[in-house]
Structure 1
Amino acid sequence: MGEPVVEIYTDGACSGNPGPGGWGAVLRYGEHERDLHGGDAGPTTNNRMELTAAIQALETLKRPSAVRLYTDSSYLRNGVLSWMAGWKRNGWRTSTKSPVKNEDLWRRLDAATQRHEIEWHWVKGHAGHPENERADRLAVLGVREATTPVTQQ
């Protein structure tokens, strides 16, 4: 990866699991930074929000990029690095022939990863990592916005 690397920090949050959810991502390319967030009034799950954060961040990139993606979700990282290839070989079924949970998002993530050269990194959540904490605050904001009634004027 000789060119500048896009660093992405992602997180998902849920108020109840399942419940309303939010996702957040911090993107950094050189001196440029961008925060992304969104929410789902639910019910959704924390795992769905973790996947959505990574998808949204990768889909935001305008051209193929070298990426370092940091997540505190073992589900996301293990899914990409260990499980997804087998799921695809098995027609999106697990080793026990059950349907893959969150298949819609795993398929979308698979498509989003094809354009990029990605290094996947796990960070411990809620352990003071500045960018992970920032992504967490964005995810919580996504929950709050998804559950705040819109007032008509």
Structure 2
Amino acid sequence: MMSFKTALGLLFLAMLAMVDESSQGNGKGNSYSYDLSNMSDLRKLYNSKVFMAELFTRPLEGMSIQLGPLSHSGVRVTLEDGTKWLVHKGKDYGISSQTVVVDGRHMSSNWKFKKQYNFQGSKTVSDFVHAAGANYNVLLDNCHNGSRRMMKN
């Protein structure tokens, strides 16, 4: 007979799979689809030094509250020039990578600050994108896994 904890764990995993973070939007046509089309600007951004990184979470699309892992997370980085960029991942967010970088000015008020770390220019935006990872898996390599890897110093 299955224990209560095992049944509860299986129920949680089933709920997580049903919610599927694709409900957060795919970066196509929603408020997070901002793109740098000029390759030199994109290269400059990816090579920019990160001075501050802040972990943020928000409810999944269609939900008004966050329920632990039933939420979305990302890391907002601040560059030397003071600009802020959100690095986050999700199913179908990008083309060659499921981790994307979007202008931090377009973050909604649903994003809530969790913690920060001062990297003092020791890492680049590219380092954060690589730490988050190119692939996405709702159970094994989701936005929370990527965000935790990005916040490690």
Q: TM-score range by the shorter chain?
A: under 0.3
Q: Which TM-score applies when normalising by structure 2?
A: 0.27
Structure with bigger RCO (C-alpha 8 Å, 6+ apart): 1
TM-score, with structure 1 as normaliser: 0.27
Q: Which has the higher helix share?
A: 1
